[in-house]
Each structure stands twice: as C-alpha cells, then as structure tokens.
C-alpha cells in the first residue's frame, strides 16, 4: 500500500489561529483596537446556529470582538438590511457576515449586496469576484473556503505553478473561486461540473484535485492519477445507525480508495472545514488592518 500524507486541516487551522491571535495582541498594544466581526443569523436552522456558534467561539479565541444578531424566521428583508446598514456605519465592526441560507422569502442577492465592499469578509461581492478573476488586480477579500484550500497546499509545500489542477464543482462560493485562485497561482486549470462528459478522464490528468460537489464518495480511486494531491471540500451527511445522531459526515472523495493512490489527501472532517473558519478570522483581520491603516 502506498504511503499517503494526511493533510491535517485541524492543526493547520490551529497554527493560523495562533498567528492571528498574536497579530491582534500586537495591534491592541500599538493602536488600542481589536478587529470586530458582526454575524447575522436569520431563522432557526440548527446547522446554521452551530456554524454561527463556532464562528463566535473562534473569534473569541483570537481576540476578535464578535457582534451577533439573531432575527426571527419571519423577519422581513428590510429588517435584515437595516441591521447590515447599521453595521456598515459602525467603525468598530470591520467584517459583516450573513449566515446562509436565508429564509425562502428573502432575496439573498439583495441582502448580500447591502454589505459594503470594505466589510465583505466572505468575499461574495461580485466586484471582489471580478477582481479575483482579473490579472494584475487584487480582490479586497478572497472567499474563505477556497482560500483555505490554497492555504493548505501552501502550508504543506505542494507546488502549484505549472501543475495541472482540476476543480470539481463550479459554485460561486467554492468551485469557481477555487479555480480562479489556482489559475492566479499559475496552475493550468480544468473545471468539471454536472454537464461534463468525461469527468473521470479529466480528473485523472490532475496533479491537484479540489472537489466541491456535495456527493458522498463520488470521487473514486480510479479518478485519481498516482501521486496527485486531493483536497476534499465536500461535507455530506450519510446515514449511520452506529452514530448517536443517526448520520455521519463524509466528503466527496472515497477516502479509502483515493488514499491508496494519492500522495496527499485532506480528511473529512478535519480537513477544509476548520480552515474555512480560520480564513474568516484572517479576512476579518485584513479588514481591520485596512480600516485602521495598520500594517
């Protein structure tokens, strides 16, 4: 059996949180401010509530001040936007995050558009994505999950320049920006999606695979070239009678098969997930440094 290196997102994220915490304490000492992040949660989804709680905890662990607003499921779009506007105007808030998905009756686009560009720590504003796509331009923020994937490649010393990369999935929040980031790092990038004719064949050409599909165990060992590096973004619940919750979380990648072929792979959980939150903290620090013109 070939030796596979497990890319440990949990420990990389811990390292990053420590780096951020020490930068924030330096910032507090020299200009007597700390970054602030506002999180807006609408409705009662349990998974969303868990994500918000984890983000809040992560903020506290590095010294970011968090401001939380929890609105009822039946709130109006205008109410949510009113809170966003007040955070836009509040200088102690450097980043604003609206937890998705929003209730069905709200227009996600209108709500997200209300977040001002300087506080768009999720990096979802179309201008940010446009800047990310353009040569010689810099986005204000890079979306957290794809940024976390690239950060893992960097921290594990995986060369990207000149490599063949395949991104599976093209969503606005993960797949598409991941492909743009890999291209910025001089990889040659292909994007596989639900209409791709020969996904397996294309994926097998890759030195680096990033999968963000949302299908448990879709990426099999036969899809992977020997020695390639595989980043699994997927978080998919599958039934599991042995678990107390009745389900467990798996990635898009069939870990058992792919770990026998790849040279390195991220586990689920403990891979990209913790990195996403670490990158949110990083983006909030970036926002604060910019707001206070602090290097």
| N- to C-terminal Cα separation, the chain | 48
- Token couple for 261: 């072929």
Q: Which of 8, 120, 122, 232 is catalytic?
A: 122
Please tell me the distance from the alpha carbon of residue 225 to that of residue 205, in angstroms, as a whole number.
Answer: 6
Q: Which is nearer to ligand NDP, 160 or 173 (CB)?
A: 173
137 vs 267: CA distance, rounded Å: 33
Q: According to DSSP H, which parts of 136-241 are helical?
A: 144-155, 175-184, 199-203
Specify the residue, 171 or 217, whose C-beta has the smaller distance to ligand NDP: 171
Per annotation, catalytic residue among 55, 119, 147, 163 = 55
* Least distance in angstroms from the C-beta of 25 to ligand NDP: 27
Q: At closest approach, how far in Å is the CB of 121 from ligand NDP? A: 15
| Pairwise CA distance, residues 107 & 78, whole Å | 10
The nearest distance, CB 240 to ligand NDP, in angstroms, is 16
Among 113, 121, 108, 48, CA closest to 84: 113
Q: Is 55 a catalytic residue?
A: yes
Annotated catalytic residue 122: yes
CB of 32 to ligand NDP, least distance (A): 33
User: How far is the C-alpha of 195 from the C-alpha of 209, rounded, in Å?
Assistant: 18
| Nearer to ligand NDP (CB atom), residue 83 or residue 223 | 223
The token duo for 54 is 């984890």
The footprint of ligand NDP (CB under 6 A) covers: 145, 168-171, 173-175, 192-196, 199, 212-215, 233-236, 272-273, 276
**Looking at beta carbons only, is 92 or 215 nearer to ligand NDP?**
215
Cα–Cα distance between 128 and 140 in angstroms, integer?
Answer: 6
Q: Which residues are catalytic?
A: 55, 99, 122
């Amino acid at each position: 059996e070939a030796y596979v290196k497990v890319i440990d997102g949990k420990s990389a994220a811990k390292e990053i949180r420590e780096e951020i915490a020490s930068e924030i304490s330096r910032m507090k000492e020299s200009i007597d401010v700390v970054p602030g992040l506002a999180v807006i949660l609408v409705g009662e989804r349990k998974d969303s509530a868990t994500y918000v709680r984890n983000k809040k905890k992560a903020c506290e662990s590095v010294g970011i001040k968090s401001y939380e607003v929890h609105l009822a499921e039946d709130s109006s779009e205008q109410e949510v936007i009113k809170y966003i506007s007040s955070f836009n105007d509040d200088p102690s808030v450097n980043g604003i995050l609206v937890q998705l998905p929003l209730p069905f009756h709200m227009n996600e686009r209108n709500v997200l558009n209300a977040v001002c560009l300087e506080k768009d720590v999720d990096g979802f504003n179309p201008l940010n994505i446009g800047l990310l796509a353009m040569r010689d331009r810099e986005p204000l923020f890079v979306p957290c999950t794809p940024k976390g994937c690239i950060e893992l490649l960097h921290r594990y010393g995986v060369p990207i320049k000149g490599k063949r990369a395949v991104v599976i999935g093209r969503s606005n929040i993960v797949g598409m920006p991941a492909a743009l980031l890999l291209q910025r790092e001089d990889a040659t990038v292909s994007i596989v999606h639900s209409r791709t004719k020969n996904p397996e064949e294309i994926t097998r050409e890759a030195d680096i695979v990033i999968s963000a599909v949302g299908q448990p165990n879709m990426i099999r060992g036969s899809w992977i070239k020997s020695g390639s590096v595989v980043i699994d973004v997927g978080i998919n619940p599958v039934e599991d009678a042995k678990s107390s919750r009745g389900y467990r979380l798996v990635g898009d990648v069939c870990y058992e098969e792919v770990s026998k072929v790849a040279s390195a792979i991220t586990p689920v959980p403990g891979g990209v997930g913790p990195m996403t939150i670490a990158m949110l903290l990083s983006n909030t620090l970036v926002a604060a440094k910019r707001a206070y013109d602090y290097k």
